[in-house]
Amino acid sequence: MSMSAGGKDGITDINVTPLVDVSLVLVIIFMVTAPMVMQAGIIVGSSKVDAAEGEVSQNESVSLRLTAKTIFLNDQAVTLEALPAIMTAKLKVNKKKVVTITSDDDVKHGTVVEVLDIAKQSGAQGLSIMKKPVPGKLDKDKKKKKKK
């Protein structure tokens, strides 16, 4: 039972060698680039305390609030250029070298990352990023915890 008139049978098996070759090359590329990607990030620890319960006094932390036009360091307006020197001086005095950062929704991501980098270079040993609570949501979350 020949399939073609000329009598030649075609190869009906799938050749997986090119697929394996491409897969191995991709695995090697990922293995080489993964360590480079992992080193580029900033390590930030998460807090297990609610924002309302975990407020720290001004003596123990440096508070930064970012708006679209201004940066506030412990409720005093500072420029981005002056921030490293002032923050280094504040962190030398504090026992816990913790920096707490809050920002408005209209602040660009690059600005927040730049301030995080300045804080780390100024000697901060702990970085905390706080979110403004949504009105009414905090009360609902507390009620759910009490029921459990």
Distances (CA, A) of 79 to 2, 72, 93: 84, 9, 21
Domain membership flag for residue 73: yes
Domain membership flag for residue 32: no
Q: State pLDDT tens for residues 87-110.
A: 888 888 877 778 888 888 888 888
Residue 98 φ then ψ, to 5°: -110, 135
Domain membership flag for residue 79: yes
Question: How many CB atoms lie under 10 A from the CB of residue 50?
Answer: 13
Count up the domains in the chain and report the number. Answer: 1
Domain membership flag for residue 104: yes
On whether the pTM is more than 0.85, the answer is: no
Q: State pLDDT tens for residues 76-93.
A: 888 888 888 888 888 888
Q: Which domain holds residue 98?
A: 61-129
pLDDT at position 20: 95
Helix (H) or strand (E) holding 64: strand 61-66
104 HSE (CA, 13 A, CB side)? 9
Report the pLDDT averaged over residues 128-142: 64
pLDDT at position 51: 44
- What's CA 76's distance to the chain center, in Å? 26
